[in-house]
Amino acid sequence: PVTLSVPCSLVYSMDGKYIVFRGCRFPKASHTLESLRYAVNFQVRDDDLFAVTYPKSGTTWMQEILPLLLNGGDLTPVQTIPNWDRVPWLEETRAALVLGDRASPRTMVSHLPYHLMPPSFFSSKAKVIYVTRNPKDIAVSSFYFHQMASFLDDPGTFDEFLDKFLSGEVLFGKWTEHVKSWRNLDIEDRILYVTYEEMVQDLRGALGRFAKFLGKEFSQEVLDMVADHCQFKNMKNNTMSNYSLVPKEFMDSSKSPFLRKGVTGDWRNHFTPEQDARFSAVIKEEMKDTSCKFPWDDE
């Protein structure tokens, strides 16, 4: 059995549909104390690859892209294995079931902030692709996700949800804390930063950057094929990636599909000018001491 170095009672509590573990909020439906212990004690290998995201930033997209790239464009994994087993979340219950004896190189996703990564990660050479997205679009995407996913709290009105989002009373805490935690110079030689917006604008270009970062060379045909397969409209039709395998009682796509719009700037259809000003002021204040520059900063 795996154990934490400090008693669990000191580091977690239950809050309705969530486990709050070391200050971070995880949905109970897919996370247990055991799965979090598994993540904490996980033995990271030097050739492991992580795609790390704050929720609603493009995780599912990376679960499609990475197996295709790493298998030279072979469609078999993305057509036969559900995304949550194909590229599992390190912190979720599936990880222990599917990662244990998986051969290297292993690919995982994670929503963990930097400081919650397993100790073995810090001493490893494992690589990370960190995907971030305009937090206003994340808030909109998350609002709809809370409406369709019964294992999450009812989001209330959009205005109420924005307040929760800004104060970090949502899955995995504050967006600003997550993004800042991963701007870590200790691992700058093994982390690649990309934005959802860059991927929407030029997926083919982003794939080229991923390939270079992974030290791989692909033919133009393979990159074109991966870019085509990973278009929003194609992924939406892939039952192994569109969450249609999840029973309606957990995820009700008639309320909002998981692969909802796949665009940038949808926040403009949802935010009032007052909400825009309030949201921008909080994000700007919390990011002011960082050197982070994002494509949406001057919008």
Binding mask 186-225 for ligand A3P (x = CB under 6 A): --------------x-------------------------
Counting contacts by CB under 6 A, is residue 235 touching ligand A3P? yes
Counting contacts by CB under 6 A, is residue 229 touching ligand A3P? no
* C-alpha closest to that of 45 among 87, 5, 100: 100
Q: Give the Cα separation of 144 and 57 in Å (integer).
A: 14
Choosing from 35, 57, 132, 195, the residue that interacts with ligand A3P (CB under 6 A) is 57
Choosing from 53, 110, 176, 181, the residue that interacts with ligand A3P (CB under 6 A) is 53
Q: Give the Cα separation of 186 and 122 in Å (integer).
A: 9
Q: Give the Cα separation of 208 and 205 in Å (integer).
A: 5
Counting contacts by CB under 6 A, is residue 113 touching ligand A3P? no
Judged by CB under 6 A, the stretch of 17-25, 44-52, 93-101, 230-238 that binds ligand A3P is 230-238
Q: Give the Cα separation of 197 and 60 in Å (integer).
A: 15
Structure tokens at 2: 């795996």
Question: How many C-beta atoms surround the C-beta of residue 7 within 10 A?
Answer: 8
Q: Is 221 helix (H, G, I), strand (E, B) or coil?
A: helix
Is the bond leading into 105 cis (omega within 30 degrees of zero)? yes
Q: Give the Cα separation of 110 and 31 in Å (integer).
A: 12
Q: What is the dihedral of CA 17, 145, 55, 279, to 10 degrees?
A: -100
Structure tokens at 72: 């030279």
Task: Give me the count of residues in the chain.
Answer: 299
Choosing from 58, 118, 135, 173, the residue that interacts with ligand A3P (CB under 6 A) is 58
Instruction: Give the per-residue SS3 of 244-267.
Output: CCCCCCCECCCCCCCCCCCCCCHH
Choosing from 230, 240, 282, 287, the residue that interacts with ligand A3P (CB under 6 A) is 230
4/81 with CB nearer ligand A3P: 81
Longest dimension (CA), the chain: 53
Name every residue whose Cβ is closer than 8 Å to that of residue 108 and which is 6 or more positions away in sequence. Answer: 48, 49, 50, 51, 87, 88, 89, 90, 95, 99
Task: Give me the least distance between CB of 204 and ligand A3P, in Å please.
Answer: 13
Judged by CB under 6 A, the stretch of 6-14, 48-56, 66-74, 159-167 that binds ligand A3P is 48-56
Counting contacts by CB under 6 A, is residue 59 touching ligand A3P? yes
Judged by CB under 6 A, the stretch of 23-31, 49-57, 163-171, 208-216 that binds ligand A3P is 49-57
Cα–Cα distances (Å) from 213 to 54, 69, 222, in that order, read 21, 12, 17
Task: Give me the least distance between CB of 53 and ligand A3P, in Å please.
Answer: 5
Task: Give me the least distance between CB of 88 and ligand A3P, in Å please.
Answer: 14
Binding mask 130-169 for ligand A3P (x = CB under 6 A): -------x---x--x-------------------------
Clarify whether 31 is annotated catalytic. Answer: no
Binding mask 247-266 for ligand A3P (x = CB under 6 A): ------------xxxx---x
Task: Give me the least distance between CB of 261 and ligand A3P, in Å please.
Answer: 4
Annotated catalytic sites, by residue?
111
* Contact set with ligand A3P (CB under 6 A): 53, 55-61, 137, 141, 144, 200, 230, 232, 235, 259-262, 266
